[in-house]
Structures are given as C-alpha cells and as structure tokens.
Amino acid sequence: MLTRQQAEQILDEILATRSEMDDAECKSGVGNAFQHALCAMSNRHDRNGGVVFVGIDENFQTIGLADVEAVQKEIADWASDLFNVPLRVVPEVLGRGGRPILAVIVPPCPPGYRPCHFKRRGPYDGSWVRVGNSTRLMTTDEVRREITADEIARGTVPPFDMTPYLQAPLTVLDNGLIDSYIEQVKKIRPASQIERLSREEVLRSIRAITEYGKQWYPTPAGLLFFCREPQRYLPQSPVEFLHLWGPELTSLGPDGSRWRMNREVIGTLPQIIVEVEALLLERIATRGIINGFRRHDEPEYPRFAMRESIVNAVAHRDYTMRGSRIQVRLFPDRIEIHTPGGLPSPVTVDNIEDEQSTRNEAIVNLLQDFGFMEKRGYGFNGIVATMREAGLSPPLVRDNGASFDLCLKSHVLMSPETLQWLHQFDGLDLSPQERLALAYLRVNERLYNRDYVRLTGCTSVEATQDLRRMVDKGALVMQSTRGGAYYVLSQKIHPPQSNLFDAALTDEDRIILLAKERGRIGRDDVIAALQCDAKTATNILKRLTRQGVLKQHGKKKGVRYSIPAQS
C-alpha cells in the first residue's frame, strides 16, 4: 500500500508529464467514475492497490475541492458500504497551487474477497480493474480467474490441473506413456520405489487422476502428459508457431503472406516442447564463435534460453482460458512468446527473479520429473544469465494480467558497429558496465533499473548509483522520479532504434504507433488494441487530438484519426 510520501511523488510526476499511470488516476470530483476507480485500484494485478487524486481535471489542471471534509466523508461511506468488502482507504490532503487535492490511497482487495465488486451488481457485472492507464469492467474470464485463484489460495478448491476432467474416461490415458514416465523417474531418482506401485497408484501420487463421485477421472495434468491426443479434451493446449517475414506481425513477404510458417504444434507437453525447440533451431541463424584458433557455430539465441522460455510458457499458462493459445513468434530480429494468463501473484515483472509461484503445481512437478525443469525459480534467472553470457540483451517481459509476454532479442550488444558507435562516449570515463548499458539503449528504447541489473549482474543499489552517474555525465536522461523511473539516451546522442515491444509503453504510445502503422484508425481499433471500453477509447483519441498528436477526419460514426502531416 502506498505511503503519503509516495503519493506526493506520484502527483508531482502526473502534473509534470500530464499523464495518468497504472497505479494512479485523476478525477475532478466524486461520482460514479470515482467509485469505479476505487474498485479498479483494489483489483490491480500486482496486488499493491493504488491512488486516486480528486481535484484534478481532465487537462491535468489543479482545480481543488470546495469542501474537502464533506468529500472525505462521502468517500469513506462509499468505501465501507458499496463493495463486497470494506475498502480501508486512506485520504491524504495535498496542497498544489494553493488548492487542496485529495489523494485517496486504495489498499488491495484482501485475499478471500477477490475480485472487489459492487454488491448491487455482483462479481460478473460489478468488478472493475485498472489496466495500464485505463479503468474498465473485468471480463467474465478475468472474474472467473480471480475467483478461482482466491479459492485455490485459501485451499477450498484444488488448482485446475488437479481437478477431475469428467468428459474423459480413464481409458484415454496411454499405458505406454505411463510406463515411459516410470522408467524416466527410475533414471533420475534411482532410490525411488515407484516400480513397486501399480500404474493407478503412480497416477494418483502425481495427481494425474483424481476421484469424483466414487469414480476416478483423469486430471488436466494427466491428459497433458499421458493422453495421446490431449487436444481432443483441452483444445487450448496446442502451441502456435509463427515464423514471420518481417519485423512486425503486419509485415508481408514476397508472396504477400505474413508468415513463412504457421504451424499448430500438438501432442503431450513433452512432445510439444521438443517440437517447438526443433522448429526454432532449424529456422534461426547461427553465429561463428572464435575460440583460440578454432571456429564453431552456435545458434544466435542460447539454446537454454529458448527451451526454458518454452517450458515456462507451457508450465505456467492459464489452462482455464479455453479460447487462447501459447504463441511462439519468430521474427528476423527476435523471438516473442505470448502466454495466456498473467503472472501468478505475488510474482511481478520486477520481482520475477526472486518470487516463486505457480498455478499448475502438478504440471510443474511432472515437467521436473521429465527433466524439462530444474530447481524452482531458476528458469528465468537462467534465461537472464545465458543471454548475458552470449552478449545479448536480457529478456524483455510484459504482464497485463490477462497474458504474459517474453521477448528474446538477437542483437549482439557489443558488435563492431556498436563499438564504433561507443567512441562518442570516450571522454566520459565510463565503466564497462555503463558502456554496456549504452549499447543496450542503442537497440532498445528505454532502460529500467531492473534491465541494468539483468544486463550486468549487479545489485539494484549498484544499478541506481551507476545510472545516476550516467545522468550526471550527460549520457542518459531520467524520465521519471519514482519506482517506475526509466532512462533514455541524451538527445545529444545518436538516437536509439525503435522498440515496439517495450513493456512500459503507455496506452497513448501504443495508439500513436498503431496510427503510424495503419494510416488511419477509429475507436474500434483502439478498443481492440487496448482491450478497453468505448468511453476510454474515445477519451484517449480526443486527448491525443487536443494535443495535436492525432488529426480527426469526419464526424460521428465515420470519424477516423491519423498522424498529422509534418509541415
């Protein structure tokens, strides 16, 4: 939960940048939209709550409040009475421009009550969530996942991968696959007594089958490892492999197609992992490595990083999301892996190296038995380490609650071209780690403290000190003032290459990029791109139009927006 000091810093940043954030929203007064904001902040995916500022208009002007005491009382009553759980908000009066601004610090919804929702509407029609810098109603799937995650955390229901799958009889489990698993366990754990157990006892012990109504059924975990055709029962379990022609999903090849290959990879999870890895290895380039007097070829991405990224996707995806699949996208300059289901709490993109959690306990245990996973928590750390050892950027990660994306870039940071480019900094007395950070910014738009840590292997405190020194030397510019601070190259320096994947792009950034890509866009395009409601989409388009970033064409239903031509 935020402190008053943090709320002060956030308010200063909002007024300076004239932009809201994922954990901060501004309102001119209190009403229905403010109530939605309270609910949404309590449901934020990282479970940290947020803050709503009252007394700031839509143009980010401080208009203040006429009667702060009356507003505080009204807010306290709403927070206590409107929702399925009382929200213990903390109102703080902040002065700006001689006017009182009310900072309403909202705690996260407590475990056992998620998602927070309006009592009169119920969870499926009354749950709001903050995503990026927009507030919207939660979808049915999002509400269902929140309720399930809450029940699992309390131990009232088992995780989905351990529940009985009533549509499949036990006979769909293949004895040959079960026997192969038993032999695998005997190899990796010679002291195991697994050979003394019957097949049924083995399946029970690993949660591959479970009892329901005095009958035994396969679990999703059992189907995914021991059924020859698990996709008959779990149609969301294939992996879609896309090999793209160009640097974007919309890039076209010589024949007008978007991809060189579009393949649905099916089978058991071990079979899927092996096949996707093979597809990547046969299609990515190789690099010649000189070791002494000998040269040998290596894949342009570390093999461990590729396999571990695939394994993590199949291990941790949300298998309750039936209409979505894992996508592995191979671009000319990067690999992107899109995984349905955000990071399970309390894991976030900032603490992913340190925190451990999984929504699929049985699947993770089986992947360990099959030799695809090592000790818990090492996977992402191993990806970071092997990318660093190969001279590549650390993985880029993005989590929006509904999905998790990981990106591996193929740019060798200290290439001959980069070394030549770095000569412009020779007079700044930079350390090797600081020069590496500049090389990173040559091919990435932004650098976060966490990126520097993953890039150099230093501590977070050391990263902060190094980055501040680089700002003082004029090499970098800091674009924020609190925990979400990031760094960009100074304007005096050769500009970096664009990075559309950047995890910190605002909703406005994404819409500007969309308009540049498509020429003209409408409200429906914004709704689809941001997964937001119509009102939020309209407000973003109007705001960008007022700022002169977009130009409006037409009126009412036919209105479209484009990037204005430069004079």
Q: What's the pLDDT score for residue 386?
A: 94
Burial class (CB in 10 A: 0-12, 13-18, 19+), 42: buried
- 424-443 tens-digit pLDDT: 898 889 999 999 999 999 88
pLDDT at 499: 45
Share of residues in the chain with pLDDT > 90 (%): 53
**Beta-sheet pairing, 239-244 with 326-330:** parallel
Q: What is the pLDDT of residues 44-91, one digit of tens each?
A: 887 789 999 999 998 899 999 999 999 999 999 999 999 999 999 999
Query: What are the domain boundaries of the chain?
Result: 4-154, 160-232, 239-409, 416-489, 507-562
User: Hey, what CATH topology would domain 239-409 get?
Assistant: Heat Shock Protein 90 (3.30.565)
Q: How many other C-beta atoms are found inside a 10 Å radius of the C-beta of residue 43?
A: 28
Distances (CA, A) of 333 to 243, 244, 279: 11, 10, 16
pLDDT interval class at 209 (50, 70, 90): very high
The pLDDT of residue 498 is 43
For residue 155, what are the contacts with CB-CB under 8 A and spacing of at least 6?
none
Is CATH 3.40.50.2000 correct for 416-489? no
Q: How far apart are CA 276 and CA 261, in angstroms?
A: 12
Does the pLDDT value for residue 101 go beyond 70?
yes
* Structural domain 4-154, CATH architecture: 2-Layer Sandwich (3.30)
Do the first three CATH levels of 239-409 and 416-489 match, i.e. the same topology?
no
pLDDT in tens, 529-544: 776 778 888 888 888 8
The two tokens of residue 492 are 């005096």
pLDDT digits (tens, 9 = 90+) for 335-389: 999 999 888 877 888 888 888 888 899 999 999 999 998 766 578 999 999 999 9
For domain 507-562, give the fold: Arc Repressor Mutant, subunit A (1.10.10)
pTM: 0.72
Residues facing 486 on adjacent strands: 448
